[in-house]
Chains A and B, each alone.
Chain A
Amino acid sequence: MKLTWKLAASACVVAAALSGCERQEEAAAGGEVEVLHWWTSGGEAASVAELKKMLEEKGDTWKDFAVAGGGGETAMTVLKSRVVSGNPPTAAQVKGPGIQEWAREGVLANIDSVAQAGNWDGLLPGVVSSVMKYEGNYVAVPVNVHRVNWMWANPAVFEKAGASIPTTWAEFQTAADKIQKAGLIAVAHGGQPWQDSTLFESIALGVGGASWYQKAFVELDQVALNSSTMIEAFDTLRMVQKYIDKDAANRDWNLATAMVINGDAAMQFMGDWAKGEFTAAGKVPGTDYVCMPAPGTAGSFTFNIDSFIMFEQKDESAITAQAHLAEAIMDPKFQEIFNLNKGSIPVRLGMDLAKFDQCAKDSSAEFSSSSQEKKLVPSWAHEMAMPPANKGAMFDVVTAFMNTPGMSSKDAAAGMASAGKI
């Protein structure tokens, strides 16, 4: 070990000459927060910058730790290494059952004092707060609520093809046929595993309804997973697939959205982050594009909540700064700015939505109504419903189904059942 030390030390000396061998010793007056996130661009980055400003007003320093790529997959690798090296950041963007998995490792901080002071129990819907807690204590802070089961449609394209915007999967087929005959693409889609599963998730909810969805994808019930309903859902996916263009493989979702914006395609099944693309292109909801629940899912709501987990901190100033961070995220001002930028809705109940557009207002209304009617379900394609291992295995099944023309729906359903058992 001695020699290794020596080598490390000499490496440090050389580095010092070149770069000033900086260590994390510059603890200023306030605390320092280091936040691992993958919101590196556009509106999202602007929102994070807002958070930074709010913390700096409280005298803390913000150390940005952004790692983009693959919907946070790279960031998770980095996070694991940081925790293993005994040097976790203040907070990290982790969501759904992942929160519980990290809490079980005993590395998360209890932020109940902040939560009590801010009356989080009163402000957050029950489905949200239960995800943020581990053994009854808050360990994470929610940022926003996305609705996943949206359909984004370009009415001009429907008009051109003489079709009407569908509300059931049967209507979808008639409309899609007309659009295809008119020489246009019916469904804009990107053939990446997470997009395949996002599409399938909306179909499954539309075909099977919320209570079956809950049983299959949240409780991972073997009977529900390997049921005739699941087979029907896969049959419907196969039908929908006919209306996707051939070049969809590995297409980014925003390029698919652009196809709807430009009038090359009629509709896309994607969460409400797609709205940002329409807004950036200067399109107005209701006239240039419409947001509707995916066929058969009106009244139901698949939610996707972004959140930050809080890691246990050693020194006092870091703990205070962490509390400031948690407060700031729940602050109505941040909730408004952030969600306006991101297309989602605030996670706090009872906020003024005057500045939000119609899609967001609809989303918010359905969020509360679906919650009362037990039609509010977590999005499994976005890691809200099951552990990553199961989710990954289900991704493999759905994506194999999409890419293997000969694979039967029955086999796919059996595959889903075994994916639920890992």
Chain B
Amino acid sequence: MTTAANASSLDRPHKRFADYLETALPKIVLGPTLLIALIFIYGFIIWTGWLSFTESRLLPRYELTGFVQYISLFENERWWVALRNLGIFGGLFIVVCLVVGLLLAILLDQRIRAEGFLRAIYLYPMALSFIVTGTAWRWILNPGLGLQNLVRQMGFENFTFDWIVTPGMSIYTVVIAGAWQSTGFVMALFLAGLRGVDDAIIKAAQVDGASPTRIYTSIIIPSLRPVFFSALIILSHIAIKSFDLVMALTGGGPGFSSDLPATFMYTFAFNRNQIGLGAASAIIMLMTVVAIIVPLMYSETRRTHR
């Protein structure tokens, strides 16, 4: 601290300018980020919004033509499938990750031997992209090559696990693989939260004779509220952006039964030369995100202010 004081006493002749600089400095430091956010997030959203009102096909065109793209978007059966799948996938994925993540964290928090080792096993999927693990998952889920075949060879002739080749079920295999990748991270968040719980409160409850289950359900888990929040934000972000996952696992199939809005947008904008339609789907996606996330985040920032 003394050096800091010395430095400022040396600066005294320039004090006015330095003061001015000091007050403006935080804003200057934040400036580039804000500019970047303005151009590369909001500018690009506006650009996409503009394109969604045009007839853009192969490359962007800028003449406005009204709501045609939105009308044909909602007349497109495939878009409805993608939306429905996002509901199924997003909901299940988030719930499974939260439940399994919390369970694993609680189990690991019981003074386990080799905790570090087990933790690394649960956490490693987060490190790998689906470009890397996609093929392995496809083999495992494939009835002829993977799990079904293995169990049948072990003598259970009637064992069936063919979701990945069954329209209407393939989206659930996406949940399985998606949860595999992300639960480890959620587990880490919860474990960190559990370690932060005040021991004194638990001790007091134990002295009062509360059962371990009771301690968890009425003391520890409620105190993890902020962790649920962080996990929810991160998981919903992963769910909405899931792209590699679907592409590597099912390619959106069978047919287009496991399409998600992100894969829909990509397919139409880039492979089918319907940039206008792709832009319209992107805007609907963004609006959905805003509708869900903004209230969540608003309450989050509110809370931290107290």
Contacts and interface: CB of A to CB of B under 8 A. Distances in A.
Are A and B in contact, CB atoms below 8 Å, in the complex?
A: yes
B120 to A, nearest CB: 29
B50 interface: no
B253 A191 contact: yes
**A interface residue count range (under 10 / 10 to 19 / 20 to 34 / 35 or more):** 35 or more
Interface string B148-175: 0000000000000010111100100000
Residue in B57, B77, B165, B257 whose Cβ sees the most chain A Cβ within 10 Å: B165
Nearest to B59: A105
A250 B253 contact: yes
Contact of B58 (A77, A102, A250, A391): A102
A404 B254 CA distance: 10
Contacts of A83: 59
Given A4-B36, A7-B32, A191 B270 contact: no
B165 A248 contact: yes
Nearest to B143: A247
Contacts of A77: 266, 270-271
B39 interface: yes
A174 to B, nearest CB: 27
A247 B255 contact: no
Interface in B33-82: 35-36, 39, 57-60, 77-78
Contacts of B267: 392
A403 interface: yes
Nearest to B271: A73
Contact of B254 (A3, A6, A191): A191
Contacts of B236: none
A239 B58 CA distance: 37
A18 interface: no
B271 A250 contact: no
A249 B165 contact: yes
B142 interface: yes
A392 B271 contact: yes
B87 interface: no
Given A249-B165, A403-B167, A192 B251 contact: yes
A84 interface: yes
A240 interface: no
A403 B164 contact: no
Contacts of A70: 251, 271
Interface in A364-422: 387-389, 391-393, 396, 399-400, 402-404
Given A392-B274, A396-B255, 14 more contacts: A4-B39, A7-B32, A76-B270, A77-B271, A80-B58, A84-B60, A191-B165, A192-B251, A246-B143, A246-B165, A249-B166, A249-B170, A399-B253, A403-B253
